[in-house]
Amino acid sequence: MNKNIERVNPLASEGIGSLIFRFSVPSIIAMLVSGLYNIVDQIFIGHYVGELGNAATNIAFPMMTMCMAFSLLYGIGGAAAFNLSMGAGNKEAAVKAAGNSVSWGVLTGIVLAVLSSVFLKPLLVFFGSTRGILPFAVDYTRIVVLGFPFLILSVCGGHLIRGDGKPGVAMICNLTGAVANTVLDALFVIGFGWGMKGAAAATVIGQFLGAAIVVYHLAHFRTVKLTIADFMPRIGPVLRIANLGMSQGFNQVAMMIVQIVSNNSFRHYGALSVYGNEIPIAVVGIATKIAMLYFSVCIGLTHAMQPVVSFNYGAGDFNRVRKAFSVTRNAGSAVSIVTFILLQLFPEQIISVFGKGSPVYVDFAVRYIRIFLFCTFINNVQPLTSTFFSAIGKPKKGLFLSLTRQILFLLPLLIILPLFMGINGLLYAGLIADFMAFAVSVLMIFLEFTDRKWQKAETVL
């Protein structure tokens, strides 16, 4: 191990438990804050626009998910490439990875914003919008897409700053944008009465402020100095970045595909039930935001694990790698169990935070939360193992795991089960897919740790 690196970077020497704790707290807050962009909008819209407004944000959500896919592709991939290179003592490759993840991310955000604006209405209809929801979805999404370059820059830059050993700074970048979004939501939606447009404008302004702070801190890296030349787009670095980040990126793409199928399925089977075609779409949107809070904590933990695992794997210290996995797994399991209890005991109280609805609306929301989200107590395992494989330079395994829950299991179940069970089949599809993804993740991590190089490391399973 390079002793100069060890003295400079605490990832090589600080206690694993304290490292994960120190990195995870700001990482979790950063993820929660990032999720609050959509959740705060949902709360204000639910109370001051209504059920159709809530449904509209759900229709727009696949676009946000696609943007997040590229944010994590470049962010996770760039941070992993940066830390693996630093761990191996290759600073030249490290700065190229950091610079290219940012430049390619911003360029992609601009392209997404243009395409989404040009094809807005056809996309929203394809995403499952009804005639009643469409005007609200157009008002909201037309403005939100303008913030795509800023969203990608803030998320991608946050991962790089965290990989540079400054998780607190990454948290501040996200926190600034979220606080601004909350304040402006109240001003625009309640004060000015701008409704959907006001919520969207608040989101974009918050993302811009967060991105501006990221730019400042990218210019003041701690372990290396980034120059303008490092940000020039190059094919070689971006291919490595995409290779390392593709599991997280494809996981988001898989989520987007499932969201589209889910919206259309709930619209169709909802119309055949007592709930109608718009109540299920609104409920799914709210429940998705609720799940985002839980996953923000779990993903925040895995993001905190990533630089620790990547650096020490690159340096050949497999004992510290296994310890990092173990600590992260245990913390995620504790969060998952607590979340499961809350969702099962207080679904009606939780759904009421996002506004009032008819008795039929509340009844479907309670059933959806209790059934579809039943396996929350084990849902931390799949993203943990997927990120772990990417962090140790095995992106194909990470990619496969990222696709298990959404594409291999949930998507077919969403299509098949309703044929026999109607709208109830859509609810049970989530429960079954979660359990199957958990089982595959446990099997793959068990097989990984049977490899000879891990045998001298401490047992984690």
Structure tokens at 11: 């990832």
Confidence of residue 35 (pLDDT cuts 50, 70, 90): low
AA identity, residue 449: F
Range with the poorest average pLDDT among 131-145, 187-201, 391-405: 391-405
Q: What is the DSSP letter of 14?
A: S
| Per-residue pLDDT reduced to its tens digit, 149-173 | 999 999 898 888 887 877 778 778 7
Judge whether 269 and 418 are in contact, CB under 8 Å: yes
> What integer pLDDT is reported at residue 58 of this predicted model?
86
> What integer pLDDT is reported at residue 458 of this predicted model?
52
AA identity, residue 160: L
- pTM of the predicted model as reported, rounded to 2 decimal places: 0.78
Judge whether 37 and 202 are in contact, CB under 8 Å: no
What is the C-alpha separation between 363 and 335, in angstroms, rounded?
A: 27
The total of other beta-carbon atoms located within 10 Å of residue 8's CB is 14
Q: For residue 304, which of 454, 459, 79, 154 has the smallest C-alpha distance? A: 79
CA–chain centroid gap for 317, Å, is 29
Q: DSSP 3-state assignment of 379?
A: coil
Domain positions in the chain are: 14-233, 246-460
What is the C-alpha separation between 57 and 42, in angstroms, rounded?
A: 7
Block residue for tokens 């210290």 = 317
| Per-residue pLDDT reduced to its tens digit, 176-217 | 888 898 899 999 999 999 999 999 999 999 999 989 999 988
| Per-residue pLDDT reduced to its tens digit, 414-451 | 999 999 999 999 999 999 999 999 999 999 999 988 87
Q: How far is CA 9 from CA 87, 214, 309, in A?
A: 9, 21, 13
Confidence of residue 7 (pLDDT cuts 50, 70, 90): very low
Tell me what the mean pLDDT of segment 48-72 comes to. 88
Please give the sequence-ordered ranges of beta strands (E in DSSP) within 243-287, or none if there are none: none
316 phi and psi angles, rounded to 5 deg: 85, 15
Block residue for tokens 């209405």 = 121
Q: Is the dihedral of CA 70, 75, 76, 78 positive or negative?
A: positive
Q: How far is CA 131 from CA 42, 57, 124, 196, in A?
A: 20, 15, 11, 16
Tell me what the mean pLDDT of segment 81-97 comes to. 87
Judge whether 267 and 277 are in contact, CB under 8 Å: yes
Confidence of residue 368 (pLDDT cuts 50, 70, 90): very high
Judge whether 187 and 43 are in contact, CB under 8 Å: no
Average pLDDT over the chain reads 87
pLDDT at 6 over 60: no
What is the C-alpha separation between 236 and 246, in angstroms, rounded?
A: 15
Judge whether 104 and 233 are in contact, CB under 8 Å: yes
Confidence of residue 460 (pLDDT cuts 50, 70, 90): very low
